Structure 1
Amino acid sequence: MSDDSNDDGENIGASPARISTPELRLEAWRALTWTVVVGLVVLSVYLAQSLLVIFGALVFASMVDGGARLLGRALNIGRSWRIAIVLFTSVAFLAWLSFFAGTQISREAAEFPRIVQEQTTALFEWLRAQGFQIDVQNVQGMASQAISGFGTVTRALGGILGGFTTLLLIVIIGIYLVIEPRLYERGVAWMLPKPRRHEFYETISRMAFTMRRLMFGRLVGMVFEGVFTYVMLLGYGIVTGDPIPMAALLAILTGLLAFVPNIGAVVSGVLMVLVGFSGGAQMGFYTIFVYFAVQNIDGYIVIPMIARKTVDLAPALVLSMQLIMGILFGILGLFLADPMLAMLKVALEQRAKAKDAEDAAQAENPEATPA
């Protein structure tokens, strides 16, 4: 009787929702964990647009921070002044590009679609003459359908804010991040358990270092490809007296598209060759030579020198990430695919390093409780 009364007393004091069986409690915790994981995945899908803009701001902040650090080697001034110089220089360059070179480039840009369309039609006609069954209308329809289906999320974002507003948000958030980076690092670390905060600071420091080097290498490649392309295209006109049309526009496009590895080089090369053949076979073959010269020098000299100091990414992995991000988020995702992949690799490497350190410490002291 006394045992029954004690059990009744315990049951009376216990919560009705309490699961007394340990096996059932374990299964309930597993179900709750999976529910939370699925909920976080669904939430990240809905917040993907905003998260991508925030990541773009991180990339922009790393570029500004890298420029400020480079200035710090030459100028013994405060960090805020160095950041202001980097931002002012960037704005000044964009203003020069818009006002001084804008007239010529805008005039060339107006003729650019027409030349590309004419040369594409001529290419299809030549292929049909060689026996290939190609319908120009079907190709144009597939191209327009692919463009219309490329980047659904980006179109949704553009419909609300617009591309310019998205870029403005990236710049504004990036400026706030680069001014007080430690503030936001501490805010994220505060949400983590104390044993994991040291690992977080080490990982975020490694990520920032890799991002700065990656963006510096990307900017060097962009400047090299743009300037070298312009010099080569301009030199043809000086030597032959028959200038290549739209040399400045092609050089700017080549430099900008160099920010996107693999895909950017192919797109810029196709556009350059199409414009080149509009001036004849000799000019067209010269643009092919320029394209291969630029890509080989950049691929075998410039990129390897930079890659030794940054994260090394497999080309197939980069291309796969670009395709996935491009389909999901359009041009913005395509531009940010490479930096995001680099950050994921650094995070996984740091986590594996920390896990190896924990295993080594546990092996040396088996009685110690792991953190």
Structure 2
Amino acid sequence: MNDAPAPHVERRGPTELRDPLVRNELKKAGVWFGMGVSILLVWFLAQPLLLIFSGIVLAAILDGGTRLLGRVLPIGRGWRLAIVTLAGLGFIVWTFIFAGMELVGQAEELRATIAAQLDRIFGWASSLGLTQSNMQLDQLTSQIMGSLGRLTSAVGSAVGVITSLVMILVIGVFIALEPRLYERGVAWMLPMRNRDAFYRTAQRMGYTLRRLMAGRMVGMAVEGFGTWLLLLAGGVPMAALLGLLTGLLAFIPNIGAIVSGVLIVLAGFSQGVDTGLWAVGVYFVVQTVDGYLIVPYVARKTVDLAPALVLGAQLLFGALFGIMGLALADPIVAMIKTALEQKSREEEGQGAGVAEP
């Protein structure tokens, strides 16, 4: 009888990386760890990322203007981009130089008018017991600004604002000058099998962003000039400033319209009931034209975003990233939706190709 011990079979231990179970668990842990690190990076680098995305949005505007100008002016792309850029800068310089003095005076008058109107509203509400009797405009302003979220040091001062605007302009011009170069740079970091899908997605996202910004520019112009002319015809004070503010705030859907509407109504009622009612009518006419003509047309040409989705994104991004996040919430949501829709088309196309005999 053989009393020799049976040979011992060694099995893989928990630290053996060749074990399929260990490798699978490590992959899962790596995915969760990577997601956590990505979230932290996005949080701490939110301001630079928003500046970069602002440059991309500006590049879409410049690229759209360059393409549109190419339909009537057959010159090189660089020259067309220079014309569009200089035209935009010229409009901004003209606004500050020629209209600046008048608008500065009107801005102080508007501030005093709004403060007086709000004091009257607070007094009336206090007489009814709806608010505290010592409620001040400064306290309300600080509460509203606090609810909009934080502004980081990158845009917390006048120097930071100017620096950020210059950075956005530089990024936007460089991307608009050679967009294919940056697409190839991003695609180079992807596997070869994913590059064709990336190019298609990037092309669709660029098309959507150009159309979205074109519609936004048209809406801003219509609301700004329409508000100015109608308020001027009705004798509402500070019509030029209110028109300019309405046009600028039109870049932020939903919330911008509410803010501009409050300013218009308060300025109108400062001159009497008739003027106030005219201001209310002007606001509804302008918003109806934008909401029922311009916005639906842009939605059909780009991506149809539900108003509640946009408003929710604005509240979320405004609370997290401040004014810049509030302004960029709409294009960010549009880009995410476009990417998801393109991904769905790619998967459906692959499924149809497999199902075909």
Please confirm whether the aligned pair reaches a TM-score higher than 0.5, indicating the same fold: yes
Is the 2:54–2:328 contact (alpha carbons within 8 Å) kept by the matching residues of 1? yes
Given that 1:121 and 1:136 are in contact with CA atoms closer than 8 Å, whether structure 2 keeps it comes out as: no
Question: Does structure 1 conserve the Cα–Cα contact (< 8 Å) formed by 2:51 and 2:168?
Answer: yes
**Which residue of the other structure, out of 298, 303, 307, is the alignment partner of 2:295?**
303
| 3-state SS of 1:359 partner | helix
Q: Secondary structure at the match of 1:308?
A: helix
Q: Following the alignment from structure 1 to structure 2, what is the Cα–Cα distance between the partners of residues 216 and 136?
A: 47
Structure 1 unaligned segments of length 5 or more: list them. 238-243, 366-371
Q: 1:159 Cα deviation (Å)?
A: 4.1
Which is further off, 309-318 or 40-49? Answer: 40-49
Aligned counterpart, 1:268: 260
Correspondence 1:137 to 2:134: yes
1:199 aligns to 2:197 (yes or no): yes
5+ long unaligned stretches in structure 2: none
Distance in 2, Cα, partners of 1:136 & 1:219: 43
Residue of 252, 261, 282 corresponding to 1:290? 282
Deviation at 1:332, TM superposition (A): 0.9
Is contact 2:47-2:152 (8 Å) kept?
no
TM-aligned CA distance change 1:186 to 1:335, over 3 Å:
same
- Equivalent residue for 1:56, pick from 44, 54, 57: 54
Question: What's the secondary structure of 1:162's corresponding residue?
Answer: helix
Aligned-residue offset at 1:65: 0.2
Q: CA deviation at 1:139?
A: 6.3
Q: Report the AA paired with residue 262 of structure 2.
A: V
Among candidates 341, 344, 352, match of residue 360 of structure 1: 352
1:4 Cα offset (Å): 6.5
- 1:208 pairs, out of 199, 206, 209, with 206
What is aligned with 2:116? 118
What secondary structure is seen at the aligned counterpart in 1 of 2:71?
helix
Secondary structure at the aligned position of 2:294 is classed as helix
Amino acid at match of 1:133: L
Alignment RMSD: 2.3
- Per the alignment, residue 313 of structure 2 pairs with 321
Which residue is 1:147 aligned to?
145
TM-score after normalising by structure 1? 0.89
- Which moved further from structure 2: 168-177 or 134-143? 134-143
Matched AA of 1:334: L
- % same residue: 47
The 5 A counterparts of 1:220-299 are 220-237=218-235, 244-299=236-291
In the alignment, is residue 341 of structure 1 matched against residue 333 of structure 2? Answer: yes
CA gap 1:223/1:123 in 2 versus in 1, 3 angstroms: same
Q: Secondary structure at the match of 2:271?
A: coil
After TM superposition, give the deviation of residue 19 of structure 1 in Å.
2.6
Question: Which residue of the partner structure matches residue 94 of structure 2?
Answer: 96
What is the match of residue 369 of structure 1?
A: none
